[in-house]
Amino acid sequence: MNGRVVLERFPAGGPRGSWPAEEFARNRRQEGQPAEVVMDLASDAFLVIVRAPNETKTMAPAA
């Protein structure tokens, strides 16, 4: 398992000025869930996820 749960998917081609994934994630954070938005390039969608408690964010090394 990759240590995260997908709460919701939103298509990347939403109306201009509309940020439904960010709004959904904000509402989940207000409920106490550490939700964040990531882009799934393969499906061209924004995913609202919650990471496992022991998973840390890692950055790719600079080239």
pLDDT of residue 14: 77
Q: Residue 54 gets which letter from DSSP?
A: T
pTM of the model: 0.76
SS3 state at 24 = helix
Q: Which two tokens stand for residue 16?
A: 């201009």
- Decide if pLDDT at 8 tops 80: yes
pLDDT of residue 58: 54
SS3 state at 17 = coil
Q: Give backbone dihedrals phi and psi of 29, rounded to 5 degrees, phi first.
A: -65, -35
- Decide if pLDDT at 2 tops 50: yes
User: pLDDT tens-digit profile of 11-59?
Assistant: 998 778 889 999 999 999 999 999 999 999 999 999 999 998 765 555 4
